[in-house]
Homo-oligomer: A and B are copies of this chain.
Amino acid sequence: MEKHGLRERKKERTREALIDAAHVLFCANGFEATTIDQIAEAVEVSSRTFFRYFTSKEDVALSLADEQITAVLEAFAAQPGDMPVLTAMRTAAVDVVRVYETEARYTSLQNLISVSPALTAARVERGAARFDDVVRLISARMGVDPDVDPRPCLVASVALCAVPTAVVAWRAAGHQTPESELTGQAFDLLTAGLDYPARPAVPGEN
């Protein structure tokens, strides 16, 4: 993967340093309150250089989340070919999250995302950028043409958008359950269908 030599190593180092510094500052002062200048200063580069490594403030915050999506997609593609789509996606997502959630960096990033609307939106946007890839993978597994069959699209939107949103909401509601378990639970509920009955007609109980 790497080209060769010193130059590449230096670049990789400043890139990592920027991610680190940004992460520390975000955690200390919050995402919106941190400026690009502060991040650049902490690494002793110009703010112009920051933008040569990352396209935006969101970009540096979400670089980890990007890796994660890539990992999930790889794991999904690696599932046995006869496994139903959502089950395969569930397995892939849960396996990957189980690994990531052991990293402190990852969990604090999740907190950051859940308290910053700007980051939440950016995360969804990045998911959307992968939308076409995901649809391709899913329709390949289902053996259908995504231009005709709308189901791959729906599954993709649920996996990229609804599940993360629900997981964040559960955590915000105070659930201490590990994220991998919440993710699994979300997929399980989706598998079974969502049309839950209304309040039972028998009153007086609770």
Contact = CB atoms under 8 A, between A and B. Distances in A.
Interface of A: 81-88, 117-118, 120-122, 124-125, 128-129, 131, 135, 141-143, 146-147, 150-151, 153-158, 160-163, 165-166, 169-170, 173-175, 182, 185-186, 189-201
B153 A157 contact: no
Contacts of A174: 147
21 contacts: A81-B198, A81-B199, A82-B201, A83-B198, A88-B198, A121-B121, A124-B161, A131-B165, A142-B196, A142-B198, A147-B173, A150-B186, A153-B169, A153-B170, A153-B173, A156-B169, A157-B165, A157-B169, A158-B162, A160-B165, A191-B193
A147 B191 CA distance: 22
